[in-house]
Amino acid sequence: MTADADVNSSPAVPWSDGLVMSKDGMAALVDVLIRRGFTVVGPTVRDDAIILAELRSADELPYGWGVELEAGRYRLRERSDGAAFAHAAGPQSWKPFLHPPRVREWSADRTEDGLVIAADRPTPPRYAFLGVRPCDLRAIAVQDRVLTGGMHRDPGYEGRRSGALLIVVECTEPGATCFCVSMGTGPAAGPGYDLVMTEVADEAGHRFWIRSGSSEGAEILAEVPTRSADPDTRETARAGVATAADRMGRAMPEADLRELMATTLDAPRWDDVAGRCLTCGNCTMVCPTCFCTTTEDVTDLTGDHAERWRLWDSCFDLDFSQLHGGTVRASPRSRYRQWMTHKLGTWYDQFGSSGCVGCGRCIVWCPVGIDITEEAAALHDWTRPGEAEPP
Ligand code: SF4
Ligand code: SF4
């Protein structure tokens, strides 16, 4: 579904009882997408992780693999049920595809006729994202708002996003670092998808309960072998998602997080976390909603060719807040506080929503295991002296 579609509207095709697709149907679905000209991107096992990469067939899906997650820790583990989507968010989100880490904006050449400047606007592939987790579906909506929803629209993002087909798989296997329930983003899918499925792998067989959310999704589904959804599959699928909601590994404190961030700016906890934080910026790189960029101009040795590149940047970099008088946020304390208060607080003022969708990636990929839910809980405790031990 495109960025221009209202993500808060009901699906274009009314909810029905849906259909059931077998594992062979999944193979057919990938083939149909490729035949229709999509670049299919989905989860696959590579380098001891479940990453997102271009798929040439459904055989490349991570059938039989799950993950174990903890703060600063990620491990693959084999599963006995052969499920393809029973794994929580991996090291990437869909951000590198829609908002790539390196983009050449333009190049310039000195010629006999003078300086020739060429803008770099390659035609983007038409992506089909297979296996979008509900938290990541919300993250895409957040980035849509940031990068296309205001006065300053990013044409590159718009081009990549406008043709993207979103196939969501609801979560039945949350990780120990997941907290989508606290952020209201999962484990059931919200609006904005073209197709949504729930995977069921039990004694009755390996199957997917699949529903369409747009007319294009319905058209594609019509080309895939399916059967009517039986009550048992529907109920098992619904129960799997409901159970996942009760098995979140993490939770945010039950508080107004925006207000919590605004009222704890002087809490001693910021010094505590600054003593642990390496200011490496990993949390911003893996976060599906972080969007900041910088620009870099390079020339070749002859000086006749120059290029301008746009690169991901991080509020943990010293140069990020460099102004004419120096760096505004010079201390690790101020940089961590900026990141967390923006995610959970001032993002509402800027974009009308939280900047955190509860995917847990910043917890897993922090090399020292700093946990945003633990930091929020410590700040919450600090506001309630007498009710909880201050941090
Ligand atoms: S919180 Fe962790 S991942 Fe983020 S900058 Fe600090 S050390 Fe790096
Ligand atoms: S702040 Fe952390 S948990 Fe929240 S969306 Fe970003 S990476 Fe995911």
pLDDT digits (tens, 9 = 90+) for 308-352: 999 999 999 999 988 888 999 999 999 999 999 999 999 999 999
Q: Return the pLDDT at 8.
A: 33
Segments forming the whole domain that contains residue 332: 257-382
Looking at the structure, do residues 220 and 99 belong to the same domain, yes or no?
Answer: yes
Task: Report yes or no on 330 lying in a domain.
Answer: yes
Choosing from 214, 245, 276, the residue where a domain stops is 245
Q: Is 332 in the pocket of ligand 1 (CB under 6 A)?
A: no
Task: Report yes or no on 3 lying in a domain.
Answer: no
Task: Report yes or no on 373 lying in a domain.
Answer: yes
Task: Report yes or no on 8 lying in a domain.
Answer: no
Over residues 193-199, the mean pLDDT reads 98
Choosing from 181, 215, 245, the residue where a domain stops is 245
* pLDDT tens-digit readout, 279-318: 999 999 999 999 999 999 999 999 999 999 999 999 999 9
CB under 6 Å to ligand 2: residues? Answer: 286-289, 343, 356-362, 372
Distance 42 CA to ligand 1 centre (A): 27
High-pLDDT (> 90) share of the chain, %: 90
Look at residue 3 and tell me whether its pLDDT is greater than 80: no
Looking at the structure, do residues 219 and 267 belong to the same domain, yes or no?
Answer: no
Dist. CA 106–CA 93, nearest whole Å: 27
Q: Give which of 166, 25, 139, 7 is closest to 84, Cα–Cα.
A: 25
Looking at the structure, do residues 230 and 267 belong to the same domain, yes or no?
Answer: no
Task: Report yes or no on 13 lying in a domain.
Answer: no
Task: Report yes or no on 156 lying in a domain.
Answer: yes
Looking at the structure, do residues 213 and 293 belong to the same domain, yes or no?
Answer: no
Mean pLDDT of the chain: 93
CB-based contact 116:28 (threshold 8 Å): no
Looking at the structure, do residues 50 and 119 belong to the same domain, yes or no?
Answer: yes
Domain count, the chain: 2
Atom of ligand 1 nearest to the CA of 276: 7
Distance 66 CA to ligand 1 centre (A): 25
Q: Return the pLDDT at 388.
A: 58
Looking at the structure, do residues 233 and 270 belong to the same domain, yes or no?
Answer: no
Distance 353 CA to ligand 1 centre (A): 23
Looking at the structure, do residues 41 and 133 belong to the same domain, yes or no?
Answer: yes
Distance 356 CA to ligand 2 centre (A): 5
* pLDDT tens-digit readout, 225-268: 999 999 999 999 999 999 999 999 999 999 999 999 999 999 99
Q: Return the pLDDT at 4.
A: 46
Q: What is the pTM of this model?
A: 0.93
Contacts of range 107-116, beta carbons closer than 8 Å, 24 or more positions apart: 107/305, 107/306, 107/307, 107/308, 108/305, 108/306, 108/307, 109/304, 109/305, 110/303, 110/304, 110/305
Looking at the structure, do residues 197 and 275 belong to the same domain, yes or no?
Answer: no
Looking at the structure, do residues 167 and 273 belong to the same domain, yes or no?
Answer: no
Looking at the structure, do residues 111 and 50 belong to the same domain, yes or no?
Answer: yes
Look at residue 53 and tell me whether its pLDDT is greater than 70: yes
* pLDDT tens-digit readout, 217-228: 999 999 999 999
Looking at the structure, do residues 210 and 62 belong to the same domain, yes or no?
Answer: yes
Q: Return the pLDDT at 12.
A: 39
Looking at the structure, do residues 114 and 208 belong to the same domain, yes or no?
Answer: yes
